């Protein structure tokens, strides 16, 4: 299993799909890199030579923000929004959807499992 930027990329998959295991690299970017370095995107990751792997890694480091630096950048952006207490920062802090989605229904991923609240007692129960 080739190791690139601290991540094991799968051997048995084509290199264009293997590169997407890196945080910040999608299919379009993976194909773009392969085309620029003249590496066939349909080749398996196990078939690449050490020289090709090192060229891929250096191109990723030089031209793209991926893995650790990208994660750090995203975290810093979110913490900046929280500090200035803008609308998006408050939504991040409270754990609600940030991009305008509805929350009356749906939004279960951000809000977590339902917390059932007991219903009000009727007039008959008060007697």
pLDDT at 127: 64
Residue 114, C-beta contacts closer than 8 angstroms, at least 6 positions apart = 108
pLDDT at 42: 93
Dihedral class, residue 25 (left if φ above 0, else alpha if ψ from -120 to 50, else beta): beta
CA gap 122, 43 in Å, rounded:
70
pLDDT at 2: 78
CA gap 127, 125 in Å, rounded:
6
pLDDT tens track for 75-90: 999 999 999 999 999 9
Residues in the chain predicted with pLDDT less than 50, given as ranges, are none
CA gap 72, 68 in Å, rounded:
6
pLDDT at 6: 86
């Amino acid at each position: 299993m080739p190791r690139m930027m601290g991540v094991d990329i799968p051997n048995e998959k084509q290199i264009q799909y293997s590169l997407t295991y890196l945080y910040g690299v999608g299919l379009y970017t993976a194909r773009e890199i392969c085309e620029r370095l003249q590496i066939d995107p349909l080749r398996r990751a196990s078939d690449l030579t050490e020289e090709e792997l090192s060229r891929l890694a250096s191109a990723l480091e030089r031209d793209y923000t991926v893995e650790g630096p990208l994660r750090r950048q995203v975290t810093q952006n979110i913490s900046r929004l929280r500090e200035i207490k803008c609308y998006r920062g408050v939504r991040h802090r409270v754990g609600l959807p940030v991009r305008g989605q509805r929350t009356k229904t749906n939004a279960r991923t951000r809000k977590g499992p339902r917390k059932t609240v007991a219903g009000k007692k009727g007039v008959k129960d008060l007697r």
